[in-house]
Amino acid sequence: MNEEARYIPTKYDSVFWIDVERIQPNPCQPRKEFSEAGLNSLAESIRQYGVLQPLVVSRIDVDKPDGGLESVYELIAGERRLRASRLAGLRQIPVVIRQGDTNLTKLELAIIENLQREDLNAIDRAKALQKLIDEFGISHAECAAKIGKSREYVSNSLRLLSLPEHMQDAIVGREISEGHARPLMALNERPEERETLFKEIILRKLNVRAAERIARSIAQERVHKYNRKSADMVALEKSLTETLGTRVIIETNAEGGCLRIDFFSPDDLQQLADMLAAERENKKSDENRPLPAQAGKTFPNTTQLSDDPVPKAAPEEPNEDGLYSVSNFTV
């Protein structure tokens, strides 16, 4: 027989028909929501055409109450088909049995199978991605490669989990869309304004563009509020720019701010570092230098502590105008 024509066995050895009741749900199933209407539609299709794609399961041997072993099957992929098959009243369904998989491999298969479905809601998708990253210790880029998506797709999906629980529930319940989540996440550092915008979206049924416009307006208002520089701040920027020989920008916010010093080459950066280090050393030297003797010198705003009598002030010389004052003449 031609070598290329030989059958190469795989983990998918063959298709078996298994009793529906012997198949256990996957405990690692990332999908939490199943549309009742969607399940009913799939069940009707199964009644007419049967299960067109076999489910994927693994076999587990468990102890029977009366002794001996019993084989049960744990679902890896195909929970919608399993649920719809039960609704359709099927007693048996086709499955392929994977053997030798670790629990992590089963988890990976279950997550990826669900992530490849277009009808998975955004929050379940984000939680599935997070679980895949946490369980396997992989980066966003590696996770993206596993599911055939871009790294930005993974990162943006995970950002949805930064929203409060009730906003995530609103996405799952389709009260707001994934698009509405973007302007809400833009206000994550301003929870009060974010909550107000969330309520406005629901009550006024704002579309995504209107929500983005409001969020942008709130963000710009905050920037303008804290970026209005006083004359003293502008003068300080100018002074630092002249001292350091490069542009210096002071940015303020509610808590404080930051100082930005521009440099245009590694040499510029080294020069700035040397200048700041030298200034620090000079300050230390000034603090440690002893004060010189100040014998016989008095300082303003101090009281002279001495037993010597204070000398009388010399009489003032009358000026020329005073010689001819009326008070100097007698009648």
- The answer to whether residues 185 and 162 touch, using CB atoms and an 8 Å cutoff, is yes
Residue 182, judged by CB atoms within 10 A of its CB (0-12, 13-18, 19+), counts as middle
pLDDT greater at residue 221 or residue 130: 130
Q: For residue range 274-285, list pLDDT tens digits in order.
A: 888 888 888 777
- The CA distance from 306 to 103, in Å, is 93
Residue 36 confidence (pLDDT) above 50: yes
HEC letters along 11-71? CCCCEEEEEHHHEECCCCCCCCCCCHHHHHHHHHHHHHHCCCCCEEEEEEEEECCCCCEEE
- List the Cα angle 240/246/249 in 5-degree steps: 60
Residue 7 banded pLDDT, cuts 50, 70, 90: very low
Q: What mean pLDDT do residues 183-197 have? A: 90
Of 56-70, 96-110, 310-324, the poorest mean pLDDT is in: 310-324
- The CA distance from 183 to 193, in Å, is 11
Q: Which of 191, 188, 215 is nearest to 201 (CA)?
A: 215
pLDDT greater at residue 174 or residue 120: 174
Residue 260 confidence (pLDDT) above 70: yes
Residue 289 confidence (pLDDT) above 50: yes
* The pLDDT of residue 303: 47
* The pLDDT of residue 15: 83
Residue 305 confidence (pLDDT) above 60: no
| CA dihedral of 171, 173, 174, 177, whole degrees rounded to 10 | 0
Going by DSSP bridges, is the β-strand pair 257-261/248-252 parallel, antiparallel, or unpaired? Answer: antiparallel
- The answer to whether residues 251 and 236 touch, using CB atoms and an 8 Å cutoff, is no
**What is the chain's mean pLDDT, rounded?**
76
Of 11-25, 105-119, 270-284, the poorest mean pLDDT is in: 105-119
Q: What mean pLDDT do residues 206-225 have? A: 79
Residue 99 confidence (pLDDT) above 80: no
Residue 191 confidence (pLDDT) above 50: yes
Q: Does the annotation count 251 as an active-site position?
A: no
pLDDT greater at residue 53 or residue 329: 53
Domains of the chain in start order, with CATH, are 8-101 (3.90.1530.30), 231-281 (no CATH)
* The pLDDT of residue 171: 94
Please give the structure tokens belonging to residue 42. Answer: 């799939």
pLDDT greater at residue 62 or residue 138: 138
Dihedral (CA of 120, 125, 131, 134) sign:
positive
pLDDT greater at residue 117 or residue 91: 91
Residue 183 banded pLDDT, cuts 50, 70, 90: very high
- The answer to whether residues 96 and 109 touch, using CB atoms and an 8 Å cutoff, is no
- The answer to whether residues 181 and 167 touch, using CB atoms and an 8 Å cutoff, is yes
- The CA distance from 147 to 117, in Å, is 11
The catalytic position among 33, 44, 74, 79 is 79
Residue 326, judged by CB atoms within 10 A of its CB (0-12, 13-18, 19+), counts as exposed
pTM: 0.51
Q: What mean pLDDT do residues 186-198 have? A: 90
Residue 4 confidence (pLDDT) above 70: no
Q: Which of 169, 188, 177, 170 is nearest to 210 (CA)?
A: 177
Residue 324 confidence (pLDDT) above 50: no
Residue 221, judged by CB atoms within 10 A of its CB (0-12, 13-18, 19+), counts as exposed
- List the Cα angle 163/166/170 in 5-degree steps: 95
* The pLDDT of residue 180: 95
- The CA distance from 135 to 75, in Å, is 19
Q: For residue range 38-97, list pLDDT tens digits in order.
A: 888 888 988 888 888 888 888 877 777 777 777 888 888 888 888 899 989 898 889 888
* The pLDDT of residue 179: 93
Residue 220 confidence (pLDDT) above 80: no
Helices (H), 175-324: 178-185, 191-203, 208-227, 231-244, 266-288, 320-323
